[in-house]
A and B are shown apart, each in its own frame.
Chain A
Amino acid sequence: MATYHLLETEARSYLQNKGINVPPYRLARSPVEAVKYAGELDYPVVLKVVARALVHKSDVGGVQINLQTPDDVERAYREIMATVAARAPGSPIEGVLVTRHIADALEVIIGTKVDPQFGPVIMFGLGGIFVEVFKDVTFGIAPLSYREAEQMVRNIKGYPLIKGIRGQSRKNEPAIIDLLLQVANLMVQNRELREIDLNPILVTDQEALIADARILLEA
């Protein structure tokens, strides 16, 4: 079965078309465009390379975060282009995605796959080392009931980080649960979807924002 990854811009618009909220973003094709969009979206911003062959963008130096000024953006754009060209020569580059940088957010992840025995399954966890080192994740079988989605969030060991500890704000848990429900439904309703990887999702006390989206489709 042949599969292919969507570009991040395509993945974002796929999700948007299915009614899932994605934070504003623009695709810049020059440093000038990047600076223009950064101004429109408001600083600080993040720049990310968009290229079909580069699924793991940060591994090839394709991501720069927390850019505060137009100068930062222009420099970051050129650096990304140069580094990607050096580390992944020959990869056609569509441009650079510009989006807002969210500070002081908790990183969570939502992943899905199609299990050979049980069909669409969905995973939730905290991002970064929590998933990589501690494997602190929970699984559910799509579609999810509200209670199941809630249990997936509450059953991770790192749940106190969502509830808020040591003076940290309480994160918007219902927004995470809603996103889990939406993504689980998406998997059930769209059989061409093989995998969705929302990593990270930035959760603040206000909202849960998809900061990166990878989608694998059946050709």
Chain B
Amino acid sequence: MMANKALAAFYYPEGIAVIGASRNPGKAGYQVVKNLTQGSYNGPVYPVNPAVGDVLGHKCYPSLGSIEGRVSLIIITTPADQVVDIFREAARRGDVRAAIVVSAGFSETKDPAKIAMEKEFLALAGQAGIRILGPNCTGVINTANGLDTTIEPTVAQTRGGISIYSQSGAMGGSILLFMEDQPVPLGFNKWTHSGNTCDLDVIDVLEYYGADPGTETILLYTEAINKGRQFMELARQIAPRKTILVLKVGRTELGVKAAYSHTGALAGSNQVYEAAFRKCGVLRMLNLEEMVDTAKALAMQPLPRGNRICILTEAGGPGTIAMDELGTSPLVTLAEISPAGQQRLHGVVPPISIVCQPQGYIDITAAAMEEHHARALQCVLEEDGVDGVILLSVPPTYLKPESLAGAIIEAVRGYNKPVLTCLLAGQWVREARRMLEAAGLPTYATPDRAARAMINMVQRQEYLRGLEVK
């Protein structure tokens, strides 16, 4: 639990000093002060730079030692060669508990002299009881108090239950931008980037997120997990309560080489990672889209109670694509619609519809209007043999997407089964997708992405069911 207390000093600091604060918008020392003071965070921020009087109108201190108020977090944006001295000064203060070292030019260069410098300040910090994120790191975001220590492009701090850890700042930032770019921005709780991980790493952050009441789903981007057994043990404890999605690169020889040149990580055998993730209940994601798609489904919808999925489509092509994707999972089967249910369906869909050929697949065709979609959806949600529904539609000119969205929102009310939707496509359905998501119905850009998110929900459900059996 040591790591948990240490990380709290990053997310909930009592006074932040930005060392290397700058008036030059091209410098990290400017952007960090800007992010900290111009957002919704209202704790004390102390820019430190002996050469200037103020940064963005905030009084600048000549040194870390000259700040009278309490400082629990320091953010270092100076050139690398000043970092060791800054840690000496931080140790003398006695109140500093956490340090984000933005400065780069340490172990990632693989230069022995620079590696030695990183070891030196790590030792100083260790003696002074200061924990480190970095170096070569942009730090943390906490939507609970508006804290943003980063130089990442600013995203809307929509609050939610998803917390993110990334070994790569660029990928971590991109996950947030992707989440913001959904029809309704997908909220998050905390965000952490660990850079060179000279001290705190994925295990510490996972432990914190595991115990953090604000975190429901955990997203990890990592190039290697060095303490594999420790990671598995921790994940095994957290996975029954919170879903852990991991984007672990190094699936191919080329990816392994790139990961090594990026962070020096030995990506390890892909099949061993697969086995390890499966064993501790972690869901592995193939790419950024799948990660955000799955997190969105989990954030908005209940888990399916079983693995029987119904595809309800207004067009054959998209339906087939979704079926193809479902077929990649050995876990998922198509829903069982009872004979009575099929009769009821025939009564509410256009006469040319194809009902349950094959079983669990319903094509209501382009003749379907709002009420056909809505009533067919209700029919399948009523069925005991249906655990989840993928609804696909390509609204033609005579079916207004917004009106369709309204009918779908009304239809699903009161059912506790996941419904994932895909309206194709583009500008034509943009407002309808926004309406659906505002009402808690996740939308997907393509049918296969909706199906993939559903597969992951089923996998999560099967994992939880397996725990009960044991």
Contact = CB atoms under 8 A, between A and B. Distances in A.
Interface of A: 115-119, 121, 123, 137-141, 147-148
B289 to A, nearest CB: 26
Interface in B219-237: 224-229, 232
Nearest to B229: A119
Interface string B266-302: 1011011111100100000000000000000000000
**Shortest 7 CB-CB contacts between residues of A and residues of B:** A117-B228, A118-B228, A139-B275, A139-B271, A141-B279, A118-B276, A117-B268
Given A137-B271, A139-B271, A141-B232, A116 B276 contact: no
Interface in B247-281: 266, 268-269, 271-276, 279
A148 B271 contact: no
Interface of B: 224-229, 232, 266, 268-269, 271-276, 279, 466
For the residues of A in contact with B, the DSSP-based class is strand
Nearest to A120: B229
Contacts of A139: 269, 271-272, 274-275
Contact of A121 (B225, B266, B272, B466): B272
- Secondary structure dominating the interface of B: helix
Contacts, number: 43
A41 B271 CA distance: 40
B224 A117 contact: yes
6 contacts: A115-B228, A115-B268, A116-B268, A118-B268, A139-B274, A141-B276
A139 B272 CA distance: 6
Contact of A148 (B226, B232, B266, B279): B279
Nearest to B267: A117
A138 B275 CA distance: 8
A118 B271 contact: no
A195 to B, nearest CB: 14
Contacts of B225: 117
Contacts of B466: 147
A115 B272 contact: yes
A115 B279 contact: no
A115 B266 CA distance: 12
Given A137-B271, A141-B232, A117 B279 contact: no
